Structure 1
Amino acid sequence: MAKRVQKPPSSSRQRASAQAPASQATVERIARALERLAPSTPETPRFAAADAFSWHPDERRLVPVANVNRVEMSLLKGIDRMRDMLLENTERFARGLPANNALLWGARGMGKSSLVKAVHAAVNAAHARRKGSDGQLKLIEIHREDIESLPELMALMRGAPYRFIVFCDDLSFEAEDTSYKSLKAMLEGGIEGRPDNVVFYATSNRRHLMARDMMENERSTAINPGEAVEEKVSLSDRFGLWLGFHRCSQDEFLAMVDGYVAYYRIAHPRDKTHREALEWATTRGARSGRVAWQYVQDLAGRLGVKLQDKGRRADNR
């Protein structure tokens, strides 16, 4: 009797068996990729961890800032009126009273952002003296390019048992930029509006947050020139408090230099300091708090003096 010859496994069965592990690995890779693409659940902020935070929209989280680069209020010279108005507005807000969003606009280097950070520190310190607790007022920094993520940031702060200053430094918009709409909705419009525990402070070199030549260009090419830039210009109207910063006089500039020299205890003849500081300003083509600080840095370096407590230095941006 002839023996039955056993047939080898079919090639299709072999291919299926070999492809199974590969297919499973592919599915797992796809699943991991989808998890990375899917929006993650926002991390609940630990607001008690710090007094200041930086907003990272890609990670949808607030990163604590342990050491804020700020300056003592007493070192900000020549801006007394703006200082008093912003301080009063911030104190009211910290007490739960009505307060305005603030736009600090004007000359470069005159202490706009330094004032915001100094006021935040001063109000928190005053609250600590009265209440015996620290950090009830939080400073949240958002970068200009992240303005469109404001609704997500507002959602994290809404209902939190703290009060927040959302701060954007050097805010401005270009002609084709539409991200201003997110800011406009947060400041006044929108269904939910701005949370009661949030106020928005911004600094800008432009009073209307966009360049004058861009405004004129839109007016000249629009069908209705009167309405061409109205939407963008009206954004600045959403700030109830406008604080203008202008170039300082020679006396104010020298007062800034004297303030830094005294604060850091730099031993140097006053008349020589003034002469050098004015020469320094001439080479820079401007007198401002930033230029005064840069001269003091140079002076301290030449004299071999270390500027202690750099967390309080005055960059006056």
Structure 2
Amino acid sequence: MSTPREPLERIADALERIAPAVTPPTDWAGAPAYIWDREAARAVSEPDTLPLVTLRGIDEQKAAVRENLSRLASGTAAHDMLLWGARGMGKSALVRSVVANIQSTDPGAIALVQLAPGTLGSFPALIEQLSDQHRAFLLFIDDLGFGADQAQDVLALRSLLDGGVMPRPSRIRVAVTSNRRAIVQRDPDESAALHERDERDDALALADRFGLTLGFHPCDRATYLEILRAYTDPLGLEINEEEALAWTIARRNRSGRTAYQYAAELAGRAGKAP
């Protein structure tokens, strides 16, 4: 016959069962990319990237980002980056692809850390974890807006870029993407002129804090077709220019993203993977 257990022992066992699992510390040296969710990071072993050579129509931006991140990976001075402009023109894809391109020759030199929405206020905790590491990190904030719902994120980012009591190591830089319309969100209300001016001032004050600012603009017809062929030629797909252009009209957007979507459509028709 078993001996009755003491009440305190039973209570301790019950609390252990309902207590949340302890999150193991992040291995900041073991993955090419991470997603930060305010308190911890999730490693991403195979980030979603495109070969750098397939990104067309943004040659100057590609060269500038590649040069800047090569410096960061090698331990020399590098800039925080703001990539702004037309939607679908490869801002986010360029950041991810350049990091992957550098990692292909030096896997441990640099890692990408994407911040989930609403986590910018946790910058101090993230910087504290990364400060003891010996590789370079690019903190990636995708599609930042300047509306009232993101005001706290903007203030947290400005504080990080300005520096504070906790220093940010030079091997930790920031890359931010923002659509042109999101840089200053316009309010149709006629009484909102002052509010709109304040938002514009906030956006400009933030933009001034980046050492490298790159604009991305809608592509013309020739550039769109060049981007499209960068996706279709490796798959041996023939394109119909008239249909390809009609695809952009239907979507009211002529961009690299639209080109990729049309290439995926052609690949699907041909029974191929994009």
User: What TM-score do the two structures reach when normalised by structure 1?
Assistant: 0.75
- Residue of structure 2 in register with 1:310 after alignment: none
Q: In 2 relative to 1, CA 279–148 (structure 1 residues): closer, same or farther, beyond 3 Å?
A: same
State the 1:32 CA deviation: 8.2
Q: In 2 relative to 1, CA 232–78 (structure 1 residues): closer, same or farther, beyond 3 Å?
A: closer
State the 1:80 CA deviation: 0.6
Q: Is the counterpart of residue 285 in structure 1 residue 252 in structure 2?
A: yes
* Contact 2:248/2:254 (<8 A) preserved: yes
3-state SS of 1:49 partner: coil
Query: Which residues of structure 1 form unaligned runs of 5+?
Result: 1-19, 129-133, 308-317
User: For 2:174, which of 200, 224, 227 is the aligned residue?
Assistant: 200
State the 1:300 CA deviation: 1.3
- Residue of structure 1 in register with 2:273 after alignment: 306
The structure whose Rg is larger is: 1
* Residue identity opposite 1:184 in structure 2: R
Q: How does 1:194-273 map to 2 (within 5 A)?
A: 194-206=168-180, 209-213=183-187, 220=194, 230-231=201-202, 233-266=204-237, 268=238, 270=239, 273=240
* Contact 2:231/2:263 (<8 A) preserved: yes
For this pair of structures, how many residues does the alignment match?
267
Question: For 1:148-191, what per-residue CA distance to the aligned partner results, in whole angstroms no more than 9, with x for missing partners?
Answer: 11111111101201100010111113225323222111112311
Q: Is the counterpart of residue 54 in structure 1 residue 35 in structure 2?
A: yes
Q: Is the counterpart of residue 112 in structure 1 residue 115 in structure 2?
A: no
Q: What is the CA–CA distance in structure 1 between the aligned matches of 2:211 and 2:117, rounded to whole Å?
A: 20
* Residue identity opposite 1:178 in structure 2: Q
Q: Is the counterpart of residue 125 in structure 1 residue 92 in structure 2?
A: no
3-state SS of 1:243 partner: strand
Q: What is the CA–CA distance in structure 2 between the aligned matches of 1:32 and 1:203, rounded to whole Å?
A: 43
- Residue of structure 2 in register with 1:8 after alignment: none
* Residue identity opposite 1:299 in structure 2: L
- Residue of structure 2 in register with 1:150 after alignment: 123
Q: What is the CA–CA distance in structure 2 between the aligned matches of 1:234 and 1:217, rounded to whole Å?
A: 23
Q: In 2 relative to 1, CA 141–231 (structure 1 residues): closer, same or farther, beyond 3 Å?
A: same
**Higher mean C-alpha displacement, 175-184 vs 156-165:** 175-184
RMSD over aligned Cα atoms:
2.9
* Residue identity opposite 2:217 in structure 1: H
State the 1:231 CA deviation: 4.6
User: What TM-score do the two structures reach when normalised by structure 2?
Assistant: 0.86
Q: In 2 relative to 1, CA 27–69 (structure 1 residues): closer, same or farther, beyond 3 Å?
A: closer
Q: In 2 relative to 1, CA 297–226 (structure 1 residues): closer, same or farther, beyond 3 Å?
A: closer
- Residue of structure 2 in register with 1:163 after alignment: 136
User: For 1:79, which of 48, 58, 76 is the aligned residue?
Assistant: 58
* Residue identity opposite 1:53 in structure 2: Y
State the 1:90 CA deviation: 0.8
User: For 1:173, which of 139, 146, 150 is the aligned residue?
Assistant: 146
* Residue identity opposite 2:158 in structure 1: K
Identity %: 33
Q: Is the counterpart of residue 101 in structure 1 residue 80 in structure 2?
A: yes
* Residue identity opposite 1:246 in structure 2: H
State the 1:196 CA deviation: 1.7
Q: In 2 relative to 1, CA 178–283 (structure 1 residues): closer, same or farther, beyond 3 Å?
A: same
* Residue identity opposite 1:206 in structure 2: R
State the 1:96 CA deviation: 1.3
Q: In 2 relative to 1, CA 83–74 (structure 1 residues): closer, same or farther, beyond 3 Å?
A: same
Q: What is the CA–CA distance in structure 2 between the aligned matches of 1:275 and 1:159, rounded to whole Å?
A: 55
* Contact 1:102/1:202 (<8 A) preserved: yes
State the 1:95 CA deviation: 1.4
* Contact 1:209/1:236 (<8 A) preserved: no
Q: What is the CA–CA distance in structure 2 between the aligned matches of 1:217 and 1:171, rounded to whole Å?
A: 25
State the 1:147 CA deviation: 1.2
3-state SS of 2:118 partner: helix
- Residue of structure 1 in register with 2:3 after alignment: none
